[in-house]
Amino acid sequence: MSVPCVPSVPPSISFKTIKEIDRNGPRNAPERRSWYVAQVAAKMEMQAVELLDGQGVPAYCPVETHLSRHSQARRRKRYMIPLLPRYLFVRLPVEGDGAVGGMDAVRKALGSAFLGLVAVAGNPRPVADRWIEALSLAERAGAFDYQPRGRPNYAKGEQVRIMTGAMAGRIAEIVANKNGRLKLVLEPLDARGQVIDNARPLRVKVEPDAVEPANPTPAAPPETGLWPPAPDITP
Q: Is residue 57 domain-shared with residue 163, that is, in the same domain?
A: no
Question: Does the pTM of the predicted model rise above 0.75?
Answer: no
C-alpha torsion sign, points 66, 2, 84, 133: positive
Would the pLDDT of 204 be above 80?
yes
Question: Is there a domain that residue 153 lies in?
Answer: no
Question: Is there a domain that residue 205 lies in?
Answer: yes
Single residue among 140, 173, 205 that ends a domain in this structure: 140
Which pLDDT tens digit goes with each residue over 4-19?
443 333 344 444 555 5
128 contact partners, CB below 8 Å, separation of at least 6: 35
Question: Is there a domain that residue 10 lies in?
Answer: no
Which pLDDT tens digit goes with each residue over 28-75?
544 689 999 999 998 999 999 999 999 999 999 999 887 665 545 556
| Residue 24 φ/ψ region, left for φ over 0, alpha for ψ in the -120 to 50 degree band, beta for the rest | alpha
Q: What is the pLDDT of residue 230?
A: 47
Which pLDDT tens digit goes with each residue over 82-132?
988 999 999 999 887 778 988 999 999 999 999 999 998 888 999 999 999
Mean pLDDT of 192-208: 83
For residue 121, which amino acid is it? A
- Asked whether 144 and 64 are in contact (CB, 8 A), the reply is yes
CATH of the domain at 204: 2.30.30
Of the chain, the percentage scoring pLDDT greater than 70 comes to: 71
Q: Is residue 38 domain-shared with residue 127, that is, in the same domain?
A: yes
Q: What is the pLDDT of residue 53?
A: 92
For residue 179, which amino acid is it? N
- Asked whether 1 and 47 are in contact (CB, 8 A), the reply is no
- Asked whether 85 and 45 are in contact (CB, 8 A), the reply is yes
- Helix H or strand E segment including 181: strand 181-186
Which pLDDT tens digit goes with each residue over 74-87?
566 778 889 889 99
Q: Is residue 80 domain-shared with residue 163, that is, in the same domain?
A: no
**Structural domain harbouring 185:** 159-213
Question: Is there a domain that residue 182 lies in?
Answer: yes
- Helix H or strand E segment including 183: strand 181-186
Q: How many domains does the chain have?
A: 2
Question: Is there a domain that residue 70 lies in?
Answer: yes
Q: Is residue 134 domain-shared with residue 165, that is, in the same domain?
A: no
Q: What is the pLDDT of residue 232?
A: 46
Q: What is the pLDDT of residue 12?
A: 40
Q: Is residue 121 domain-shared with residue 178, that is, in the same domain?
A: no
